[in-house]
Amino acid sequence: MSSGIQILKQGNLHFLSLLVLLFCASSSFAQNSNPFEIKSRLKAPVEAENDKADQSPDNSNPFEIKRGQNTGAAAPAIIKKSKKNKRKNRAADKKARQSFLFTVLIGLVIFIAILFTMLREYFWKVYDAFRNDNLLNQLQREQGFLPNTPYLFWYSLFFLTSGIFVFLLLDYSNSLPFDGYWLNLYACIGSVLAFFLFKHFLLSIIKWLFPIKKEISIYNFSIVIFNIIIGLILVPFVVFIGYGPSDLIKISFYISMGLVFITFVFRQLRGLFISGKYLILNKFHFLLYLCTVEIAPVIVLIKLILLYQEA
């Protein structure tokens, strides 16, 4: 009886141990996966919202420029069109400039041909007076206070050629003050004309204020003679600068200005010879004249041009 009871107890112990093992296995399985968890129902709303967001129509502004999109497709066409317009404007401006220069230079050549046809003998007198002091004094005595009309025609050639030269110089440096080629040309010719008329007027005042009427008259007439020669010197340079190759235009400017400077120095030396007897006794007055009449106007003119270019 007692042995049967012991066998029953041992069987109960094995049964209890088997239950414990089953409980532990079930608990470990429950930690890995919950059989009552509805995964598809928890995950469905999120996926449904994502699908709805993907399938929903785009309510954004169709004209809005978004980063990453190819919005610059039309930019090359716009840039190409603007460059084409610029080329057309440059071509039109170049054509207008060539037409303007052709008209001006043809008119200048015709005027020179008329002068050499009708007033050639006066040109040779001017040339002789340019070379010789005695011929200059003799020609001035024949003219009196004002040069005769033929010399004034030759003198007008200087204003035309020098005005065209100044115009080409300003155009080359992109410093034309006004819009329109004709207006700028008139301004250049008028500036040269006003400058030398003021100089002749100033010399006339000095002539009546001081007892040197003869010397001032000769020097005043020498300015006319030398300017006529300068006007003829500038003619080939004006034509070459207007239609010559662009590589040689700058060199042509330097050569022409160098020749004008040499002629100017030659004229000043002639002026020293004319006023030789007064130069030794009146050095102060001569320096005063040289600074106020010869040097100061040129410096003021150069300063005005530089200020305009800086502005």
Cβ atoms < 10 Å from Cβ of 130: 18
Q: What is the pLDDT of residue 229?
A: 95
Q: Is residue 2 over pLDDT 90?
A: no
Place of tokens 């004229």: 267
pLDDT greater at residue 284 or residue 248 = 248
Q: What is the pLDDT of residue 272?
A: 79
Give pLDDT tens digits for 180-211. 899 999 999 999 999 899 888 888 888 888 77
* 209 belongs to a structural domain: yes
pLDDT greater at residue 295 or residue 102 = 102
* 180 belongs to a structural domain: yes
* 213 belongs to a structural domain: yes
Q: What is the pLDDT of residue 128?
A: 92
Please calculate the CA angle 136-258-140 and round it to the nearest 5 degrees.
10
Number of domains in the chain: 1
Distance CA 86, CA 207 (A): 57
Q: What is the pLDDT of residue 185?
A: 94
* 128 belongs to a structural domain: yes
Q: What are the Cα distances from residue 92, in Å, to 80, 87, 98, 106?
A: 18, 8, 10, 21
Q: Is residue 311 over pLDDT 70?
A: no
- Please tell me what DSSP assigns to residue 295: I
Distance CA 54, CA 47 (A): 10
Q: Is residue 23 over pLDDT 70?
A: no
Q: Which amino acid is at 275?
A: S
Place of tokens 């040689």: 248
List of long-range contacts for 255-263, beta carbons under 8 Å, 24+ apart = 256/165, 259/233, 260/230, 260/233, 260/234, 263/226, 263/229, 263/230, 263/233
Q: Is residue 8 over pLDDT 50?
A: no
Q: What is the pLDDT of residue 182?
A: 93
For the entire predicted model, the pTM comes to 0.68
* 50 belongs to a structural domain: no
Supply the range of the domain harboring residue 237: 98-274
Please answer whether residues 238 and 135 qualify as being in contact, where contact means their C-beta atoms are separated by less than 8 angstroms.
no
Q: What is the pLDDT of residue 309?
A: 60
Q: Is residue 112 over pLDDT 80?
A: yes
pLDDT band at 64 (very low <50, low <70, confident <90, very high): low
Q: Give the burial class of 191: count Cβ atoms within 10 A of its Cβ; 0-12 exposed, 13-18 middle, 19 or more buried.
A: middle
- C-alpha dihedral sign at 194, 200, 203, 204: negative
* 292 belongs to a structural domain: no
pLDDT band at 6 (very low <50, low <70, confident <90, very high): very low
Q: Which amino acid is at 138?
A: Q
Q: What is the pLDDT of residue 48?
A: 47
Q: What mean pLDDT, rounded, does the chain reach? A: 75
* 141 belongs to a structural domain: yes
Please answer whether residues 279 and 271 qualify as being in contact, where contact means their C-beta atoms are separated by less than 8 angstroms.
no
Distance CA 148, CA 163 (A): 23
**Residues in Cβ contact with 184 at an 8 Å cutoff, skipping those fewer than 6 apart:** 167, 170, 171, 176, 177, 178
Please state the three-class secondary structure of 169-215 as a single string: HHHHCCCCCCCCHHHHHHHHHHHHHHHHHHHHHHHHHHHHHCCCHHH
Give pLDDT tens digits for 113-151. 999 999 999 999 999 999 888 888 888 888 776 778 889
Q: What is the pLDDT of residue 155?
A: 94
* 298 belongs to a structural domain: no
Place of tokens 């250049």: 188
